[in-house]
Structure 1
Amino acid sequence: MKQFKPSIIACAIAAQFFTAHHTVAAEQQITANKEIETIEVTATRRSGSIQDAPLNITALDGDVISDQNIGNLEDVARWVPGLTISDQGGREGSPIIVRGLNTNSSDRGSDGGTVATYVGEIPLNISLRLTDIDRMEVLIGPQGTLYGAGTLGGAIRYLLKQPQLDITEGSVSGDIFSINESDDTGGEFGAVFNTPLIDDVLAVRASLNYYNKPGYIDYKYAVQEPGVSNPNPDFTNQNDIDNNLRRVNDANDEKITTGRLSVRWQANENVDATLNYFYQKQEHGGNSTTQYNTLADSSALKGTIGRYENAARVLEPGEQENDLLSLEVKADLGFAELVSASGWSSYEQSGQRDQTDLLYDIWTGYADFPAFVGQTLDTADRDNFTQELRLVSNSDNALNWIVGVYYNKQDNFSDDREYTPGLTEFWGGGIPNVQEDLEYIVISNSKIKEQAVFGEVGYSLTEQLDVTLGARLYEYDISTNSGSATPLYSGDFSSLDQLEMENVSANDSGNLFKFNANYKFESGMLAYFTVSEGFRIGGGNGIAPCPDVLPEQQIVCALANEEDYEPDTTVNYELGFKSSWFKNSLHFNAALFNVDWKDAQVGSSTVNGQELITANAGSANSKGVEISSRAIFADNWTAYATYAYAKAELTEDAPDLFGINNGAVNGDRLPGAPEHQFSFGLRYEQDIMDDKLLSVNYGMTAQSDVITKVGLRDDAETLAGYSLSNLSARITGDMWSATIYVDNLFDKYAFTSVRRDKSWAGMSQTGDNKALPELQRVYAHYTTTPRTIGMKFTYNFEL
C-alpha cells in the first residue's frame, strides 16, 4: 500500500457502518440476546464500565486476544487507535509511541520512553507474552497524576487472571505453526491450574508457558572464526567464500518461557490479598534485519542479499530475564478502600552485536587487518522496588476522592565491551589488557529514587454533570557513576581498577495537574473534556567531561551540553464522547486531542567517541482524532473498526538534534509513527453439530507511511505504508476449542523500521558518507513476519 490517507470524515462514516474494533471492542463481549456487554475496567483506580469511563481507554479481553491471535504488545498496538509499536523481532526493544510523540529515529533500541507499562499495579518495563491474561488496558494520553513518571504519552496495563476461591479448574493448550521462509516448525505449549486450598478463603493459581518461534532471517556471511577468517573474501570465488564464511539459516529464532504463581487470601469479606511471582525469559538467536536493497553499488555484496538475508559477520544473539514479586492488598474500611501495592523486580540482559562497521567509521586503519571483526558483549542488570498506598472513597454521595503516596527505588548497572579478535597479535602484541583484544569498555551504575503524593477529587454538580480535579507532587534524585576506556589506544589499561569513574547527579521536583468534566445525555451518550499533564524524569549521562585540550588518540568524553538532560513534560487537551445505539447493538466512540510537548528528550551521541546519550530537543505538538466502534448485526455477525490520525511535528527549531549545527526546524514531522492507522474486523458465529460453535474471524490492520528521522533530515527515509490481514476459524465444544489460523494472510513484505541510515552504505544525500562504503553492512531494515499458518488446541477442565 503506497499511500493510505482516508479523510477523517470518511473514516468516521465507515466506522459507523462497518463498526467496531477489538479496541473498544475488546472491552466487550457478545451476549445471547445480541447486545454488547461492556466489561469492567479499573484504569481510573475504580471498577466501572468502559463506556462510562470519561477517558480514552482501550481494553482487549482474553477472547479478543484469542480471536485475533494476539501474542505480544506489537500485535496489540495494531488494534489500538493512536498506539504504534514498530516490530523489531524481539531481539531489540521496539519503540512504543502514542499519538506520534517521538523525536528519536526509528533505529535499534530507540524507544522514547513516553509510555509506562504495568503488570497489575506494579510498573514493569516489559513486553509480556500474553498468556493467562484477563485483559489489557491501554490508556491513551498523559497519565501523570495517577500513574506518575514515564506516562507522557500513556500507560499500558497487563491484568493477569486472578486465583479463583471457589473452583478447581485449569487448561492445557498447544499451538503448532509454520512460517514462510523458515525451515523449522514453531510451537507454543501452556498449562494453567487453579485450586482453592481453603474454600472461599485461600486459593492458588499457577501457569507455565513455552513459546518457540523459528527464525526466518538467514545470516549469509558469518565468519568461520572471528579474527582468523577473512570477512571479505573474493566473492567471485566460491572456495574462498566457503573457507572463510558460513551460512546460518533461520538465525533470528525466539524462545520465551513464562511462569507465574499466585496465592490469594481473602481473610474476611473486607480484606483481599494476592501474592504474585512472575518470571519471563527471552532468548533470541539474532536480529530480524536484512540488507536487501540497501547495499551501495560499490559493495562486493551488491545483489547477493535476498529479502530475508542478513550480511552481518557474526551472529547477534540476545537474552533477557525478568522477574517480579508483588503483594497487592485491598481492605474495605467502610468509608474508603485501602490499596497497598508492593513490587520487587529484577532484570538481566546480555547480548552480542556485529560492531565492525562502527569501528571502521571511527578509524579506517582497522581495515589493515584482513581478518578484522568487531563484536560486542553488552550486559545490564536492574533491580527495582515500588510501593504505593492509596485510599479510594466508597461513598455514594456527590463527592468522591482518591489520595495516595508513591515510592520507587531503582538500581541500574551496565557493562558494555567491544572486542576485536586477533587485532592485538596483528599489531605485534605487548599491549597490556584486562582481557585480550578488548578494544573499548564502558561501565555505568545509576541509582534513581522517586517519591510522590497524588490525589483526585470528583464532584457531581448535577445528576448528569461531573467534574474531577487531580494533582501529583513529585521529586526525584538520580546519581550516575560511569567510566570508559579504550585499551588498544591507551596501551596502559590492565585492570578494571584503572577505570576512571565520573559521577553525575541530578534532582528535581514539580507538580502535575488534571481537569476532567463529563456530561451524560438522556440518550446515554457520554461527552467529556480533559486537560492532563505527564512528565519524565531528567538525569545525567554519566560521561566524563572533556578536557580543555583533547588528546590525539581516541577519547570518549562529554561536552558541557552533553553531560546531563532536563525532564520533559506534556499537556493534553482532549474532547471526546462515547455512545451506544440501537438497543446497545452499536458502540461508537471518538476523541479529538491536542498535545503540547516541552523539552522533548531524544537519543543522541557525544561528539567525541560517539557514546550514546540523552539530550533535549525543544518543543513539539501532536493533534488529531481517534475513533473506535463495534456492532452486532443480523443474527451471526459482529464487526469492529478503528481509525486514528495524528499530525505530530516540531513547534520550534532544534538546531543540534543530529549533532552540532545539524538540526531540524519548526514544522518538521516527527518520526517513527504513521499519520493514519486503520483496523477492521469481522466475526461470524454459527452453531454446528448440535452443540458446537463455529467462529470465523477476519482482521485487517493498516498504516500509512513512516519517516525514520525528524523532518526526513540527516539521511532519513520514508518507509511505505502497508496492511496485514489475519484469518482464523475456531470450533468450540463444551470444554475444548480447536483453531486454525493464518497470520499475514497475503504474505505482505514490508519494512517496519530501520537500523542506522543510508550514509552507512555510501548512499548519503547530505555528503556525510561513511568510510569504506563497500564494507558497510550496519544499514539494514526490520521486516514484517512472513505468512504464518498454524493450529491451536485448548482443553479446559473443572474438578
Structure 2
Amino acid sequence: MNNKIKQKIEDQHHFSRSALFIAMAAIAAPTYAQTSAAGAAGPAAGEIEEVMVTARRKDESLAKVPIAVSAIGAEQMTERQIKTDSDLQIAVPGLTIRQTQGNNSLTYSIRGQSADTFSGSPSAVVAYINEVPLTISGASTFYDLESVQVLKGPQGTLFGRNTTGGAVLYTTAKPSNENEALLRVRAGNYDMREFEGVVNVPIVDDKILFRAAANSIRRDGYIDNLTTGEEHGELGRDTGRLTLTLRPSDRLENTTLYSYARVDGTNTGATYVYSIYQAGQTNNGYALNTASSFLASSVDDQKAIGYYKTRHPYGADHIGEDEVFINTTTYELGDGIQLKNILGYTSADTDSEQPALGAAYATFATRNLATGRAGNEVEVDSLSNEFQISGEAVDGKLTYIAGLYIQDMRVDTLWPQTYFEGAQNATNNFRIDTETAALYAQASYSLSSALRATAGLRYTQEKVSIEQLAESDYNGVAGFAQKQDETFEEPSWELGLEYDLSDSTFTYLKTRGSFRSGGFNGSAPPVNATATGGGNKFEKESVQDVEAGLKYQGSVLDRPARLNLAVYQQWVEDVQRIEFPSPPPGTLPGDPPSIAVTANVPEMEVRGIEIEASIMPLHNLELGVVGAYTDAEFTDGETELFGTTYSYSPVANTPKTTWGLWAQVDILNDAHIGDIGLRADAYRQAQMYFSNSADSLTPDTKLPGYTLVNLRLSWANIFGSKLSGAVFGKNVLDEEYFVGGMPLGASLGHNAAAVGEPAMYGVEVSYQF
C-alpha cells in the first residue's frame, strides 16, 4: 500500500477514536446551551428561539407558517458543518442530494421529485439566491449566508419557476450599519486549506452600506486512479461577493449584489463498477443488455481495490465559472403597501469530463475520440425580472401579494461521447431557449382571531425551443429537425386553512397544484415525436397534493421544546424520467449504442411524514431529531421507447426513510475563559435505487443504506478575546457509502455508483474585528 495513503487511513482512524472520546467526555461534563436559527439573534439561556422564514415571500415565524419548511441560520450552518449543497441533507428531513456522475453533478430530490442527468427536464427543485433562480452547475461553497430554507412540495404560486418538488432559498448576509470584519482559516486532512473573509462598512451612516465577502478552498482528491495516476475529487474553488445597499429615504431601499466563482479540480465520477450483466441474464422476464459482459471481472476487481480507487482510463478535469448579479428595490407606499422589483442575471460556464465507469476499458466516456473533444461543455445565461406589490387591508385581516415574473434562459450544450474505446463516436451540440412569463396573486384572510384562509393562483406560459448547433451529429442531416419549439401553459394554485389551537400550537391543511414544463431532450434524435415515437419531445408533468401540518413551540415537562410535523399525499401525472435505450442500428448518425431520452411515465403517487423536533432537557443541553418517511411508487409505470417496453419501478433516488439525531452542548460559558461547546450530528439514510427501471431492464442498482457522524468542538471568544477556534470532523466513523449512480445497464449493460466522501477533519481559527 502507498505510504501516503496508509498514513491517511491511520490518521483518520486515530481521529475517529479521539473524537468519540471527546464527545463522551463532553456530554458527561456540566453544560450550558444556546441555539440559533435563520433570521434571528441567539436566545436567552434555556430558551429555544423563534425562527423567522420567508417561505411566503415575507418575514414570518416558522412556528406559524403553513408549509413544511426547514430553516438553517448562519450560526447553525457553522455548528453543523454545512459548507456545501451535499451537507444539507443531514439537517433537512426528506431532502436527498444525489450524485449521478460525481461531486460536480448534484441534483436535489424532495418527496420523490427530482431531475435526471441528460434529461432536459426543468428541475423539480429550484434553488434561489435572494429570490433569483440559480443556474450554477455543480457544487458550491456556503459562506456569509444569512440563512438557507428548504420548502417542500409544489411551489407554483409564489416563486419564479414552477416546481413540483420544492425550493431551496439561499439568503446572503446583508450589509449592516456597523463597522465589522471576520477572518476565518480552516485546515484539514487531504491537505485542505480554506480562507474566508468578510468586511462590512457603513460608508454613510444608515444610508450607504457596503459588504464584501470572499472564500477560497483547496483540497486534494480522495479517489486514486490506478491507470492515470490522477486523484479524483480535487477541489480548487475561489468565490467573492460584493453587496451595496442604498437608502436615500426611509421608504426607498436599493440593494445590488455581484458574485463571481471559479472552480478548478477533478470529478469523482460514477467510477465504482457496481454491476455488469452477463450473457443470457434476465430479470423478471426481461432480457438484459450484455454488451459489456466481457468486463464482468471488473465488478470483483472493484470490490478488491475498494471504494476509493478506480481504473478509469481517461481524465476527470472540471473547470467552471459562475456569475450572479441581483438588484432589488423596495418602496414603501404607506398604509402597509410595498412595491418590490427583483432584477437578476445569472450565468454558468462549465467544461467537465465526468467518468462513467471505473473499468480500465472505456465502454463510454465523455469525449469523442474522432474529433478530439473531451468534456461536457455547458453555458447557461438567465435574465429575470419580478415585480411585486404586497400589503394589508381590511384592518389587517387581509394580507396579499401579487406580481409579474419574466425570465429568458439560454443553455448551450456540447456532449462528446465515445463508446467501446472509440468503436463508435457521437456528439450532441444544441441550444435550448426557455422564455417564461407568469402572473400570480395570493392572499390570506383572518376569518376569526384563530382561523385564517389562504388562496393563491398563478398562470404561467413557457415557450421552449431547441436548435441543433454546428458540432451536432444531426446538424444539416436530412430527416432531422434543425429547430423546434413548443409552448406550455397552465395554472398553478393553492387553497389552505390554518388554525391556532393555542398560543403555542398551530395547525394547517392545504392542497396545491403545479406543473413543470415539457420540452426537448438534446441528446435524443431531433424528431417531432415523444420518446415513445423515437423523438426528442416530452410533455409537461403535473402534480397535486394535500398536506396537513402541526407545529408546536412551548414546553414539555416545563422544558423548552419545538415540534414541526407534516403529513402529505401527492399525485403526479406524466412523470418526467430519463432512460438510456439502445436505438435500432442504422437509425442515427454515428450509430451510437446508447442515447438519453426523457420519457413521460403515466402516474406516480408519493405519501409521507416529515418531522423536526427538539427539546432542552437541561438549560445547557438541546437534543433534536429530524426524520422523513417517503413512500413513492409508480402506479402506472409502463411506457415504450424505440419499440421496447420499459416498466418503471421502483422510484429512484428516494430512500424510504432518512433520520438524524443531534445534540448541542455548551460545556462552559465564562466571560474570562470563553464559550466552549460541542455539536454532534448522526444521519442515517435507508437503501435506495439509482435506476427507475430496476425491476425490469436495469436490476442490481440498489445502493445500501449508510450512517454518518459529524462532530465539532468549538471555543469562542478565547480568554475574553475576539479569537475563536474549533476542531471538526465529518464522517468521523469513516463510513464507506454511495451517494448515487449512473444506470447505463439498459443500453450498455453496466451500472456505476458514485462514492461519498471519506472521513474529513481539521481545525478552524477565526478572528472577528
Contact persistence 1:135–1:158 (CA under 8 A): yes
Letter in 2 for 1:700: A
CA distance in 2, matches of 1:558, 1:663: 12
Shift in CA distance, 146/285, structure 1 to aligned 2, threshold 3 Å:
same
- The amino acid across from 1:704 in the alignment is A
Q: Which residue of 1 aligns with 2:694?
A: 712
- Write out aligned runs for 1:486-565 (5 A): 502-541=482-521, 560-565=533-538
2:545 aligned partner: 572
Amino acid aligned to 1:570: V
Task: Name the CA distance, whole Å, in 2 between partners of 1:25 and 1:203.
Answer: 24
Deviation at 1:210, TM superposition (A): 0.5
CA shift in 2, pair 1:302/1:193, >3 Å: same
CA distance 1:743–1:421, change in 2 (3 Å): closer
Superposed counterparts of 1:50-199, under 5 Å: 50-87=62-99, 91-102=103-114, 113-126=123-136, 127-164=139-176, 166-178=177-189, 184-199=190-205
- Secondary structure at the residue paired with 1:75? helix
Shift in Å, 1:712: 2.5
Q: 1:201 is matched with which residue?
A: 207
SS for the counterpart of 1:412 is strand
Aligned residue among 708, 729, 740 for 1:753: 740
1:510-534 CA deviation, whole Å, 9 max, x = no partner? 1111011100023421000011122
* Conservation of the 8 A alpha-carbon contact between 1:116 and 1:156: yes
User: 2:654 touches 2:688 (CA, 8 Å); kept in 1?
Assistant: yes
Check conservation: 1:289, 1:310, Cα contact below 8 A: no
Relative to 1, partners in 2 of residues 1:302 and 1:580: Cα closer, same or farther, differing over 3 Å? closer
Distance 1:61 1:572, change over 3 A: same
2:684 matched residue in structure 1? 702
Contact residue 465 and residue 519 of structure 1 kept, 8 A:
yes
- SS of the residue 1:65 aligns to: helix
Change (3 A) 1:529 1:353: closer
1:792 paired with 2:767, answer no
Which residue does the alignment assign to 2:429?
443
Size of the alignment, in residue pairs?
A: 692
- Paired with 2:398 and 2:37, the residues of 1 have a C-alpha distance of 31
- The more displaced of 352-361 and 447-456 is 352-361
* Secondary structure, counterpart of 1:274 in structure 2: strand
Q: Report the counterpart of residue 454 of structure 2 in structure 1.
A: 468
CA distance in 2 between counterparts of 1:383 and 1:480 reads 15
* Cα distance in 1, alignment partners of residues 766 and 119 from structure 2: 35
CA 1:741–1:544: 2 relative to 1, 3 Å: closer
Alignment of 1:318-357 (within 5 A): 318-335=318-335, 336-353=337-354
Q: What secondary structure is seen at the aligned counterpart in 2 of 1:670?
A: coil
Note closer, same or farther for the CA distance 1:129–1:90 as it changes in structure 2 (3 Å cut).
Answer: farther
Q: Deviations over 1:492-542 (max 9, x none)?
A: x9xx88898611110021111101110002342100001112221111335
- 1:720-759 Cα shifts (integer Å, max 9, x gaps): 1111001111000042310001111111111222233567
| Shift, 1:284, TM fit | 2.5
Shift of 1:484: 7.8
Q: Which residue of 2 aligns with 1:383?
A: 381
SS of 1:44's equivalent in the other structure is coil
- Aligned residue for 2:645, secondary structure, equals coil
Q: Is the 8 A contact 2:531 2:642 kept in 1?
A: no
Alpha-carbon distance in 2 for matches of 1:509, 1:560: 23
User: Residues of 2 paired with 1:678 and 1:729: CA distance?
Assistant: 23
Distance in 2 of aligned mates of 1:547 and 1:173? 55
Rg bigger for which structure? 1
Q: Distance in 1 between matches of 2:36 and 2:568?
A: 18
Q: 1:22 touches 1:79 (CA, 8 Å); kept in 2?
A: no
Question: How far does the alpha carbon of each residue in 1:146-173 deviate from its partner, in whole angstroms, 9 at most, with x for none?
Answer: 0143411100000000011x21111011
Indicate the residue corresponding to 2:753 in structure 1.
Answer: 781
C-alpha distance in structure 1 between counterparts of 2:398 and 2:671, whole Å? 54
Identity over aligned pairs, percent: 21
Is this contact kept in 2: 1:372–1:422, CA < 8 A? no
What secondary structure, in the 3-state scheme, does the structure 2 residue paired with 1:63 have?
A: helix
Q: Hey, which of these two has a bigger chunk of strand by percent?
A: 2
Query: How far does residue 312 in structure 1 lie from its aligned partner after superposition?
Result: 0.7
Distance change in 2, residues 1:789/1:360 (3 Å): closer
CA separation of 1:644/1:343 partners in 2, compared to 1, >3 Å: closer, same or farther? same
Cα distance between partner residues in 2 of 1:68 and 1:592: 26
Does the C-alpha gap of structure 1 residues 781 and 439 become closer, same or farther in structure 2, counting only changes over 3 Å? closer
CA contact (8 A) 1:219 1:312 kept: yes
Cα distance change of structure 1 residues 359 and 544 upon mapping to structure 2, 3 Å threshold: farther
- TM-score under structure 2 length normalisation: 0.83
Contact 1:313 1:373 survives alignment (8 Å): no
Deviations 1:680-717 (A, max 9, x none): 11111122573401001111011111012236322332
Which residue identity lines up with residue 374 of structure 2 in the other structure? T
Alpha-carbon distance in structure 2 between the residues aligned to 1:22 and 1:444: 53
Deviation at 1:302, TM superposition (A): 3.0
User: Aligned with 1:712: secondary structure?
Assistant: coil
Q: Distance in 1 between the 2:568 and 2:170 partners?
A: 25
> Could you give the per-residue CA deviations for residues 192-225 of structure 1, whole angstroms, max 9, x where no partner exists?
1110111110011111111112211011113xxx
Structure 1 residues 94 and 605: alpha-carbon distance in aligned structure 2, compared to 1, 3 A threshold? same
User: How far has the Cα of 1:602 moved from its partner?
Assistant: 1.2
Quick one: which amino acid aligns to residue 562 of structure 2? H
Q: How does 1:241-390 map to 2 (within 5 A)?
A: 247-248=229-230, 250-291=231-272, 297-299=296-298, 302=301, 305-335=305-335, 336-353=337-354, 376-390=374-388
CA–CA distance in structure 2, aligned partners of residues 598 and 372 of structure 1: 41
Aligned partner of residue 157 in structure 2, secondary structure: helix
Residue 144 of structure 1 aligns to a residue in which SS? coil
Structure 2: gaps (5+ residues): 1-32, 277-294
The one-letter amino acid of 2:98's match is S
Q: 1:331 and 1:75, CA in 2 relative to 1: closer, same or farther beyond 3 A?
A: same
Measured after TM superposition, the shift of residue 354 of structure 1 is 5.4
Identify the residue that residue 288 of structure 2 maps to in structure 1.
none
Offset of 1:362 from its aligned partner? 9.3
Q: Does 1:410 align with 2:422?
A: no
CA contact (8 A) 1:352 1:375 kept: no
- In structure 2, the CA distance between the partners of 1:485 and 1:161, relative to structure 1 (3 Å rule), is closer
User: In the aligned structure 2, how far is the partner of 1:486 from the partner of 1:301?
Assistant: 38
Letter in 1 for 2:388: R
Q: CA separation of 1:410/1:567 partners in 2, compared to 1, >3 Å: closer, same or farther?
A: same
Q: CA deviation at 1:374?
A: 8.7
Q: CA deviation at 1:643?
A: 1.2
SS at match of 2:70: strand
* TM-score normalised per structure 1: 0.80
- Matched residue type, 2:131: E
Q: Against the structure 1 CA distance between its residues 268 and 715, is the aligned structure 2 distance closer, same or farther, given a 3 Å change threshold? A: same
Does the residue aligned with 1:268 lie in a helix, a strand or coil? coil
**Where do 5+ consecutive residues of structure 1 fail to align?**
1-20, 179-183, 223-246, 364-370, 428-437, 488-492, 549-556, 760-767, 771-777
Asked whether 1:626 is paired with 2:625, we answer no
In structure 2, what is the Cα distance between the partners aligned to 1:559 and 1:300? 33
Match of 2:282 in 1: none
